[in-house]
Chain A
Amino acid sequence: EDQVTQSPEALRLQEGESSSLNCSYTVSGLRGLFWYRQDPGKGPEFLFTLYSAGEEKEKERLKATLTKKESFLHITAPKPEDSATYLCAVRGGTSYGKLTFGQGTILTVHP
């Protein structure tokens, strides 16, 4: 069974203080690792998809990387508007599109 564990559960940063979120996974035949952002009271918003170890993707202050066992979401010089819950999910080889999510990391960026 596919499993995803995210750490830390919560992260508080000062504006401009760079950091990383971790997503560890076990999956049978990775068909994609997905990062989403979720604001309170809203649905998850797609950020990135990574497919193979060594792949990296960037969007504004966010950069996602992937190894065979984990993914990192690096946040460079965060701003208060980056505060949200960041969700990681994997899709395995026999999942028919099913995503298995981690519990999320709640990021708070203080001005």
Chain B
Amino acid sequence: DTAVSQTPKYLVTQMGNDKSIKCEQNLGHDTMYWYKQDSKKFLKIMFSYNNKELIINETVPNRFSPKSPDKAHLNLHINSLELGDSAVYFCASSQTQGDTQYFGPGTRLTVL
């Protein structure tokens, strides 16, 4: 009965490739988020969707594009991967925009 799940858990790829990370929540929440955790463990918001509508779009390169096919899913597509994209990416969800956020297990992306 996983609440917020992400696939894959690990992703190793070459510079220049395009990759996607998928996120699903079975909590019935309206709002979903993508965070990036760098090597110093700082968690920074990237995007947020509320009822499939983009509501937070932080200063993130255009190579990153979120897509929400429905309320339960929020995917992250990354084009032309760069070395600096290596990090752990976390998906989270909350009942509404202001409620407690619950995080997925993370996807460790390594760009070689």
Binding site for B on A (CB under 8 A): 31-32, 34, 36, 41-46, 49, 85, 87, 89, 91, 96-101, 103-104
Contacts and interface: CB of A to CB of B under 8 A. Distances in A.
Contact of A43 (B55, B96, B106): B106
Nearest to A98: B45
Interface string B22-59: 00000000010100000011111100101000011010
Interface in B93-112: 94, 96-106
A68 B97 CA distance: 23
A104 B41 contact: yes
Nearest to A103: B42
Interface residues of B, number: 28
Given A44-B90, A96-B48, A98-B56, A31 B42 contact: no
A44 B43 contact: yes
Contacts of A97: 31, 33, 48, 50, 55-56, 94, 96-99, 101
A34 B35 CA distance: 16
A46 B100 contact: yes
Q: Most chain-B Cβ atoms within 10 A of its Cβ — which of A44, A45, A97, A100?
A: A97
Nearest to B9: A41
